[in-house]
A and B are shown apart, each in its own frame.
Chain A
């Protein structure tokens, strides 16, 4: 049986988990991942997604359509990620994505087990959840100097279509991009100084990483990659911008949307890096910080 797994949006980074779990649940199964986002998938997604969805969710629909149309999968494996971190919830769009797919593709067979760690309750195979992580992203290597923090959801950071090659651009300019990765941060989890912790797991991941990195690493600037139509980003972005202004870190917010021309984004990021370079040179000359 061909089991299709769209590995974008909330399921990005869960490949190893799926490889472990699916053979336990379904015998004689062959797992087919949708792979990297291509323009074809984007087009499918834009055609079928409703206007309320954020761009990663639209692209996710494209991944699903690609699996159904081009790979002829028998069943789609879409666990409902109600909560992936104790005490939090996933974004409502993530919780509801299996239903959206069901409504869009009535004839497709879906397998929708529930993963809910909110109260450490999980309705899935006990064996494979034991001591094992859901997400598996490579952590960013932190350099001694010239780090630039790129903040975004992991499914944006690890998707070349969504991040528009910003990490490459930063690398080419001689800076080291560092970024949060879902759930990996828990090993050195620290609670933030916020009066109330974030409700959503992804927001908590991103914010805690931000606070940790500001206090413990040398960073030259913060870039927030916001996806158009994301409710979590709209709150988090504002919070991080204010914090950056307070501590005098150069801050840039880039909104990624459907347009495929990345020229505008390149211009902004180039200008931003120029600004940081300009500041650094002047700091070296004067020995007086011009930040803030």
Chain B
């Protein structure tokens, strides 16, 4: 049976997520893949897998892209909507839990807090330059202690007596952890101590001056860590909900936004086969025409220049949103 589907793509620093929803917003397929520094390849592969599984019965009516790689992804697939991840996350959270008041979202590189009232975002904050308290830091520490990141939460949650670790700065936290480990504290106490430190850091940096009302949703890749959930619950004294699709909420949100946007319109989606067949390339160079030394990037599809960006004077891109507006002409 041919049905209408919508595609949501979220390209983050660590993971690339693709979801397929039907016209009622039901999630048909969700994929969580590591970006590994090659967003285009991973995206092509993911779409290829989808096509193999469903074939021609997939009729895509709308596509949306979000995440830090959203502009690049929109060029590859021909997106109907390109939106920032904050809006996308809020959209998905409201869809699943209509009376949600607070969203805690921790990803690979960013952490965000979003406050919602009457189904409307009223305030948000994002971490500044510091990456202490995000997924990549947990990743690194797990690697150092030789623990697979998937097992991190399981081990940490057993802790009876968590140690105190300074979460202000990732570098100091690490030296604190090493110190505690040399004193002979058990691994689970150190791990849970780290979770508490990160949760404290999050609340002090992002939630400062804001009131966190329940229901609170915890989403993003780090929500897989049950110890982080416990740490937040301990500090806030409120139950926290981890939604079923916590790790692909951004992609679901953008798929829902694409569904809204394409109502009665024809999608700009380029089709699975086209995307699979195309060879995408990016080439960069440093422009030396003036003392700004802009790093200009060109995007090529099958060897043809499609878009350029990165130049301050817009000599190459000629229009600030050139690459977005022209993605439909690929």
> Hey, which bits of chain A sit against chain B, CB under 8 A?
38-41, 160, 168, 172, 241, 245, 250-251, 255, 257, 259, 263-264, 267-268, 270-272, 274-275, 278-279, 282, 290-291
Residues of A within 8 A of B294 (CB): 39
Interface residues of B in 254-311 (CB under 8 A from A): 290-294
Residues of B within 8 A of A291 (CB): 122
Query: Is the pair A290, B120 in contact by a Cβ cutoff of 8 Å?
Result: yes
| Selected contact of A255 from candidates B128, B209, B291, B292, CB within 8 Å | B128
Query: Is the pair A267, B291 in contact by a Cβ cutoff of 8 Å?
Result: no
* Distance A245 CA – B123 CA, assembled complex (angstroms): 10
Closest CB in chain B relative to A175 CB, distance in Å: 16
Q: Which of B83-91, B188-196, B240-248 lies at the interface?
A: B83-91
* Distance A71 CA – B40 CA, assembled complex (angstroms): 45
Closest CB in chain A relative to B81 CB, distance in Å: 11
Query: Is the pair B84, A270 in contact by a Cβ cutoff of 8 Å?
Result: yes
* Distance A221 CA – B209 CA, assembled complex (angstroms): 18
Query: Is the pair B118, A290 in contact by a Cβ cutoff of 8 Å?
Result: yes
Between A and B, 29 residue pairs with Cβ closer than 8 Å are A38-B291, A39-B292, A40-B292, A41-B291, A251-B123, A255-B129, A257-B129, A259-B129, A263-B68, A267-B68, A267-B85, A267-B126, A268-B86, A268-B126, A270-B84, A271-B87, A271-B124, A274-B83, A274-B87, A275-B86, A275-B120, A275-B121, A275-B123, A275-B124, A278-B87, A278-B120, A279-B120, A290-B118, A290-B122
Interface residues of B in 25-45 (CB under 8 A from A): none
| Selected contact of A40 from candidates B119, B121, B291, CB within 8 Å | B291
**CB closest residue in chain B, given A238:** B209
With A255-B129, A274-B86, A278-B87 given, can you name 12 additional A-B contacts, CB distance below 8 Å? Answer: A39-B291, A40-B291, A40-B292, A160-B312, A251-B123, A263-B68, A268-B126, A271-B86, A275-B121, A275-B122, A275-B123, A290-B118
Residues of B within 8 A of A259 (CB): 129
* Distance A282 CA – B68 CA, assembled complex (angstroms): 28
Closest CB in chain B relative to A236 CB, distance in Å: 16
Closest CB in chain A relative to B95 CB, distance in Å: 14
Closest CB in chain A relative to B143 CB, distance in Å: 25
Closest CB in chain A relative to B74 CB, distance in Å: 14
> Hey, which bits of chain B sit against chain A, CB under 8 A?
68, 83-87, 117-124, 126, 128-129, 209, 290-294, 312, 320-321
**CB closest residue in chain B, given A160:** B312
Query: Is the pair A172, B320 in contact by a Cβ cutoff of 8 Å?
Result: yes
* Distance A264 CA – B291 CA, assembled complex (angstroms): 24
Closest CB in chain B relative to A156 CB, distance in Å: 17
* Distance A250 CA – B85 CA, assembled complex (angstroms): 19
Given contacts A241-B209, A268-B126, A270-B84, contact A282 B120 (CB under 8 A): yes
Residues of B within 8 A of A279 (CB): 120-122
Query: Is the pair B293, A267 in contact by a Cβ cutoff of 8 Å?
Result: no
Given contacts A259-B129, A279-B120, contact A271 B290 (CB under 8 A): no
Residues of A within 8 A of B292 (CB): 38-40
Residues of B within 8 A of A267 (CB): 68, 84-86, 126
5 smallest CB-CB distances across A and B, nearest first, come from A271-B86, A40-B291, A38-B291, A274-B87, A270-B84
**CB closest residue in chain B, given A38:** B291
Given contacts A40-B293, A172-B320, A259-B129, contact A271 B84 (CB under 8 A): yes
Query: Is the pair B129, A278 in contact by a Cβ cutoff of 8 Å?
Result: no
**CB closest residue in chain A, given B121:** A275
Query: Is the pair B128, A39 in contact by a Cβ cutoff of 8 Å?
Result: no
| Selected contact of B123 from candidates A160, A250, A263, CB within 8 Å | A250
**CB closest residue in chain A, given B85:** A267
* Distance A290 CA – B118 CA, assembled complex (angstroms): 8
Query: Is the pair A38, B129 in contact by a Cβ cutoff of 8 Å?
Result: no
* Distance A275 CA – B83 CA, assembled complex (angstroms): 12
Residues of A within 8 A of B291 (CB): 38-41
Residues of A within 8 A of B118 (CB): 282, 290
* Distance A199 CA – B175 CA, assembled complex (angstroms): 42
Query: Is the pair A168, B320 in contact by a Cβ cutoff of 8 Å?
Result: yes
Closest CB in chain A relative to B300 CB, distance in Å: 21
Closest CB in chain A relative to B78 CB, distance in Å: 20
* Distance A279 CA – B122 CA, assembled complex (angstroms): 8
* Distance A225 CA – B126 CA, assembled complex (angstroms): 15
Residues of A within 8 A of B85 (CB): 267, 271
Residues of B within 8 A of A282 (CB): 118-120
* Distance A141 CA – B189 CA, assembled complex (angstroms): 59
**CB closest residue in chain B, given A279:** B120
Residues of A within 8 A of B321 (CB): 172
* Distance A177 CA – B124 CA, assembled complex (angstroms): 21
Closest CB in chain B relative to A59 CB, distance in Å: 13
Residues of A within 8 A of B128 (CB): 255
* Distance A41 CA – B291 CA, assembled complex (angstroms): 8
Q: Which of A39, A241, A251, A257 has the most chain B CB atoms closer than 10 A to its own CB?
A: A39
| Selected contact of B293 from candidates A39, A245, A264, CB within 8 Å | A39
Query: Is the pair B320, A274 in contact by a Cβ cutoff of 8 Å?
Result: no
Residues of B within 8 A of A264 (CB): 126
Closest CB in chain A relative to B204 CB, distance in Å: 15
